[in-house]
Structure 1
Amino acid sequence: MTDPMLASLLGLMVGDALGSQFFVPANRAAFDAQALPPGPWAWTDDTEMAASLHLILNRYGKVDQDALAASFAERHDFDRGYGPGTNRLLRLVREGGDWRTLARESFDGQGSWGNGAAMRVAPLGARFAADPAEAARQAALSAEVTHPHPEAVAGAVAVAVAAALARSGPRPGPFLDGVLAHVPAGKVRDGIAEARHLLTVSDPSVAASVLGNGRQVAAHDTVPFTMWAAARHLGDYEAAFWTTAAAGGDIDTTCAIVGGIVGSPPAAWLAECEPPPAWALTP
């Protein structure tokens, strides 16, 4: 696939859709056997928001925050599994509210530190693969629309830079060093630094016990583990997916992040997945 941003979007989408299948009790046996459950696999809010970001980047060549907020609000499908805070935010934006005010209502005016900005941003990083610093800057702009808390912004920056760097196939250590060079100080950065120390660990459960697995739905509890999983399996989508899923937690989101970083999912997996929204692929 020649379009790196689209390859990342599809990798994110498959990770999200397949990961979400393992919340269904009937699919537990397939999960334990690392087998694919029956399709079609429906994607969640992770993909819907990533699709809006893909659309805006194709249309403007950069993050236009007002256009991105409008697209998030217009495309918002309540049944895709959005969190309550984002559901409320997008409904109020759709009704004419100012995202700049609404996004900062939680955490004493800092906004949410959830993993929502990180889960959708990998395609942006792939687009700016030649300039990781610009990927970081654009990722911060994209995060501020819904998750302006510094930790949420740091999570989005980390994922975008990881997706940018992954295109060149670096070794795991230098890969995480490159990510750390762009992530500001805080819980997310501390977690990624710890992930760097854990690269010799092969058991995802052990890594997740230290780094988190998204169970808290917070950027600092989600992004460090996804950096570890992606670093260990750059260039191998299937291994990256199963390693990430094995840690449990917020599986659809962690697998969406890692899938978007690694990109280019297997054709057979893509065929089982609900297709991306047609509107996202139209400039």
Structure 2
Amino acid sequence: MDRRQSRREAIVGCILGTAVGDALGLPYEGLSPKRSARLLGPPDRYRFFFRRGMVSDDTEHTCMVAQSLIDAGGDVPKFTRAFARRLRWWILALPAGVGKATARSGIKLWFGASPEKAGVFSAGNGPAMRAAIFGASLDDVPSILNFVRASSRLTHSDPKADYGAFAVALAAKHSRDHAAVDANLWLDEVVDAVGEGGAELIDLLRQAIRSVDAGETTRTFANSLGLERGVTGYTYHTVPVAIHTWLSSPNDFRKAVTSIIESGGDADTTAAIVGGIVGAGVGTEGIPHEWLDGIWEWPRSVPWMQRLGEALADSLEGDRSMKSPTVNPIAVLLRNLLFLFIVLFHGFRRLAPPYV
């Protein structure tokens, strides 16, 4: 496979891998490992809506990033403006389950804040959830870091959010470029990217690597971080556990996504991150076809996301005439209302036993 085709496969695999992980993990979001197993069963199929899956903000942000990369043509300020514009309209379409920092940033943008000042001081995992696509798409590490930083600062101003997103983006790039993962080679790149300010994250990532080398499961590693009741949305919890999962199963999409969901907590985001990283390495063919076929989405359908990935790949190969696929805003609003209804159903279901 030539370089151009390899990148195309990585981009499409990353987007679709993010979507599958997101959709599989969504019904388990916020549940402890024990309760999720008793309430829903194993994450081996979609359990959101009649054996079908739908995506949440994790996939939607990844798609908006991909669209904005096409618009930007390699220009970071242009990317920032394009992503900020999409984020404004995304907030207006009433997305369910949006994070506090992202919601506040979107509101600030509507009230006239510049993209550079819209972010709030938060180390949530929002920037990390949309970071894998940068590593799957771009070749130059400094360029990756510049785009990731612009994406992160639009919603989160805490440098920790940058560092977590850097680690995810570089993992996706490593997954794309290496058939056999070299954890230490990847970690060296992360060390250079985060500098002294990211020392705490580097320590956590080293713990993850040692845990993988010792043959520990991802859930055991999460427990060692005090996350027995599930992985939180704090980026220094989310990212090390996601990286542990990737290093444990770098070429096994099914096992990777399943094991991170079984760790509980913010399961849609953690599975979306892992799905994006592993998807960048295995491509579309490495993602179980029944999981791709089971996604029930509109207007951001699986074929639409595939077209988006292909358009991004073509634009990065120099086709400046390439336009990003668009979505009908009325269709998005109608879809979000249905999505909210299903989410509320799941919320009411959780009021009933089993409670442990």
What corresponds to 1:17 in structure 2?
A: 23
After TM superposition, the structure 1 = structure 2 runs for residues 130-149 of structure 1, keeping only pairs within 5 Å, are 130-149=139-158
Task: Tell me, yes or no, if the aligned pair for 2:222 and 2:231 is still in contact at 8 Å.
Answer: no
TM-score with structure 1 setting the length = 0.87
Q: Secondary structure at the match of 2:265?
A: coil
Matched residue type, 1:189: I
Give 1:233 shift: 0.9
Q: 1:205 to 1:28 in 2, by over 3 A?
A: closer
Q: State the Cα deviation string for residues 169-223 of structure 1 (Å, max 9, x = none).
A: 2335345434534333233222112111111233222110234667431111110
2:69 to 57, 61, 71: 57
Q: Which of these residues, 63, 68, 71, is aligned with residue 83 of structure 2?
A: 68
1:97-140 deviation line (CA, Å, top 9, x unaligned): 32333314xxxxxx211110001111111001x33343233212
Query: Cα offset for 1:242?
Result: 1.0
**1:273 equivalent in alignment to 2:285:** no
Q: Does 1:153 align with 2:162?
A: yes
Which sections of structure 2, spanning at least 5 residues, go unmatched? 309-322, 325-356
Say whether residues 1:221 and 2:237 are aligned partners: yes
* Residues 13-58 of structure 1 deviation map (CA, whole Å, 9 limit, x = unaligned): 1101110022499984585444313432111111111111010112
Identity %: 28
Equivalents in 1 of 2:30, 2:163: separation in Å?
31
- Using the alignment, how far apart are the partners of 2:24 and 2:293 within structure 1? 12
Which has the higher relative contact order, 1 or 2, with Cα contacts under 8 A spaced 6 or more apart?
Answer: 2
Change (3 A) 1:143 1:34: closer
**CA RMSD in angstroms, aligned pairs only:** 2.6
Q: Is the 8 A contact 1:162 1:175 kept in 2?
A: no
Kept in 2, the 8 Å contact 1:166–1:262? The answer is yes
Change (3 A) 1:78 1:172: farther
> Whole-Å Cα distance in 2 between the matches of residues 190 and 153 of structure 1?
16
Distance 2:194 2:30 in 1: 35
Aligned length: 276
CA 1:56 to 1:119, structure 2 compared with 1: closer, same or farther past 3 Å?
Answer: same
CA distance in 1, matches of 2:226, 2:106: 28
Deviates more, 1:115-124 or 1:23-32: 23-32
Relative to structure 1, is the Cα distance of residues 270 and 119 closer, same or farther in structure 2, using a 3 angstrom cutoff?
same
- Indicate if the aligned counterparts of 1:117 and 1:156 stay in contact, CA closer than 8 A: yes
Equivalence map 1:116-195=2 (5 Å): 116-128=126-138, 130-167=139-176, 168-174=178-184, 176-181=186-191, 182-184=193-195, 185-195=198-208
Which consecutive unaligned segments of at least 5 residues does structure 1 have?
105-110
Q: What does residue 223 of structure 2 align with?
A: 209
